[in-house]
Amino acid sequence: MPTPCLAFSVRFGGMVTASHNPPEYNGLKLFVNGCEMYTEEYEQLKVLYKETDNSGNEENSNVGNEDIRIDKEMRTAFLEKYMSSLPESGPAVFDLAGGAVCAIKEVFMTRIFDTPDPTFSRHSPEPAPEGLNYLVNLSRRNNKLGIAFDGDGDRVVVIDKEVILSDVLGTFLLEHDLVYARNVVMTVDCSSKVFRRLDEQGYNPTYSAVGSVNVIKNMMRLPNSYGFEDSGRYYCQEENISLMDQ
C-alpha cells in the first residue's frame, strides 16, 4: 500500500520502503498518529535497541518468506478506508510509476504505469522532470493535467503542459483557496521568490530544514499552518483543507 495509506490507517506503524532509492535499498518510516516520528525519536529508538539484549535473536535469523504472515483482511480494510477518504480524481492523467500507488489504481480514471514494477525497470521511482517526458507529452496532447507519484506514493509532481515547480504549486493552492492558512512552512530549498511573494501577500512564511519531520515540527508550533517541500510533499492541518469539496 502507499505510505500515506498506512499513516492514515494506524495509530502506530512502520513502512518498509525504498521510496525513490534504487530497489536494492530499503528504509523504514515509522508513524505515530499519522505523523512520521521526529529525528530525536528515531535516535531514542536506536538507544533502546542498543540497550536491549538481542542475544536470543539468532534462532529467528533464518526466517523465510513462507513464514511471513500477511493479514489480507486488514490490508483490504486499510485500503478501502483510505480510498473512501480521497476526492474524485477528476480529468487528469496519473503516472503511478509502477510503485505502491498501484495498490489503489482503481481510484484514478486515467492512468499510466499502473502495473507493479518492484525493480522500477520501466520507470524511475523519482518523479524528477527528466523522467516525466512521456507524461508531459501526454498532458500536452490531451490538454489535461498530469500528476506523477514517487515510488511509495508520498510525493507528487503536477504537470500543466510542463512540470510545475513544487513550491510554485504550493503557493497556487493557497492563492486559489484550496488550502486555508496564514502561516506557511517551506523548506530551505524552496525559492526565495516564492518566500517573498507569500510575504508580500500577507502570509507568514518561515523556512524549515528539509525533511517531513522538520516541516511538521515547525507546523506544530504554528496555529493555522500549511507546509510544503521542494521535493513534492504538502502538509495541511485537517481544518485547513478545502480540496475535498472543490
What are the residue boundaries of the structural domains of the chain, listed by start?
A: 3-57+64-73, 88-159, 166-245
Q: What span, in angstroms and rounded, lies between the C-alpha atoms of 193 and 208?
A: 16
pLDDT at 57: 57
- For the chain, strand residue ranges (E) read 12-17, 27-32, 35-36, 92-95, 110-112, 145-149, 156-159, 183-187, 204-208, 225-228, 234-236
> What are 141-175's pLDDT values in tens digits?
999 999 999 999 999 999 999 999 999 999 999 99
Kindly report the CATH class assigned to 166-245: alpha beta
Place of cell 496564514: 182
Residue 33 has what pLDDT? Answer: 85
Q: What integer pLDDT is reported at residue 246 of this predicted model?
A: 39
The Cα–Cα gap between 94 and 148 comes to 6
Predicted local confidence at residue 245, as pLDDT: 46
Cell (9 digits) for 181: 492558512
The pLDDT tens digits along the chain (246 residues) read 999 999 999 999 999 887 777 777 888 889 988 888 888 888 998 899 888 866 555 555 555 556 778 889 999 999 999 999 888 878 899 999 999 999 999 999 999 999 999 888 999 999 988 889 999 999 999 999 999 999 999 999 999 999 999 999 999 999 998 888 999 999 999 999 999 999 999 999 999 999 888 998 899 889 889 999 999 999 987 666 655 443
Q: Residue 194's pLDDT is what?
A: 96
Q: What is residue 25's predicted lDDT score, i.e. its pLDDT?
A: 81
Statement: 88-159 belongs to CATH 3.40.50.620: no
Phi, psi of 17 (to 5 degrees): -150, 145
pLDDT tens digits for range 193-218: 999 999 999 999 999 999 888 998 89
At the topology level of CATH, where does 3-57+64-73 sit?
A: Alpha-D-Glucose-1,6-Bisphosphate; Chain A, domain 3 (3.40.120)
Same fold, 88-159 and 166-245: yes
pTM: 0.85
